[in-house]
Chain A
Amino acid sequence: MRPFDYSRASSTADAAQQAAGGGTFIAGGTNLLDLMKLEVMAPDKLIDINRLDLSQIEETSDGGLRIGALVSNSDLANDTRVRRDWPVLSRALLAGASGQLRNKATTGGNLLQRTRCLYFYDRATPCNKRDPGSGCAAREGFNRILAVLGTSEHCIATHPSDMAVAMRVLDAEVETLKQDGETRRLTLDALYLLPGDHPERETVLEPGELITAVVLPAPIKDAQQTYRKVRDRASYAFALVSVAGIVGLKDGRISHADLAFGGLAPKPWRNAEVEELLIGETPSETLFDKAADILLAEAQGYGANDFKIPLARRTLVSVLNELTKEASA
Chain B
Amino acid sequence: MKTELTINGTQHKLELDPRTTLLDALRHHLGLTGSKKGCDHGQCGACTVMVNGRRINSCLTLACMHDGDEITTIEGIGQPDNLSPLQQAFISQDGFQCGYCTPGQICSATAMLEEIAEGWPSHATEDINDRPSLTVDEIAERMSGNLCRCAAYPNIVEAIRKTAEESA
Contacts and interface: CB of A to CB of B under 8 A. Distances in A.
A103 B56 contact: yes
A101 interface: yes
A234 B65 CA distance: 32
Nearest to B118: A78
Contact of A77 (B61, B64, B121): B121
Interface in B49-108: 54-57, 60-62, 64-65, 108
A6 B129 contact: no
Nearest to A235: B144
B42 A94 contact: no
A30 interface: yes
Contacts of A91: 123, 128
B19 interface: yes
A91 B127 CA distance: 10
Given A74-B120, A100-B145, A37 B40 contact: yes
Contacts of B1: 6
A30 B65 contact: no
B48 A100 contact: yes
B129 A84 contact: yes
A284 B164 CA distance: 46
B21 interface: yes
A29 B45 CA distance: 16
B141 interface: yes
A30 B42 contact: yes
B134 interface: no
Given A30-B60, A83-B129, A100 B42 contact: yes
Contacts of A3: 17, 19
A323 interface: no
Contacts of A103: 54-56
Contacts of A50: 65
Nearest to A33: B60
Contacts, number: 101
B61 A29 contact: yes
Nearest to A97: B145
Nearest to B111: A99
Contact of B128 (A4, A28, A74, A83): A83
A313 interface: no
Interface string B3-17: 000000000000001
Contact of A29 (B60, B108, B146): B60
A78 B121 contact: yes
A33 B24 CA distance: 14
B21 A33 contact: yes
A90 interface: yes
Given A34-B41, A87-B128, A99-B112, A29 B48 contact: no
A100 B108 contact: yes
B107 to A, nearest CB: 9
A85 to B, nearest CB: 10
Contacts of B56: 100-101, 103-104
A29 B66 CA distance: 12
A26 interface: yes
A48 interface: yes
B123 A95 contact: yes
A44 B65 CA distance: 17
A87 B119 CA distance: 16
Contacts of B129: 80, 83-84, 87
Nearest to A2: B19
A235 B140 contact: yes
Given A50-B65, A99-B115, A37 B41 contact: yes
Contacts of A34: 41-42, 60
B18 interface: yes
A79 B122 CA distance: 13
6 contacts: A6-B18, A26-B65, A29-B62, A77-B120, A98-B45, A99-B115
* 4 cross-chain pairs, A with B, having the tightest CB-CB distances, nearest first: A98-B145, A235-B144, A6-B18, A236-B144
Interface of A: 1, 3-6, 26, 28-30, 33-34, 37, 46, 48, 50, 74, 77-78, 80, 83-84, 87, 90-91, 94-95, 97-101, 103-104, 234-236
Given A50-B65, A78-B120, A234-B144, 6 more contacts: A6-B64, A34-B42, A83-B121, A94-B123, A98-B144, A234-B141
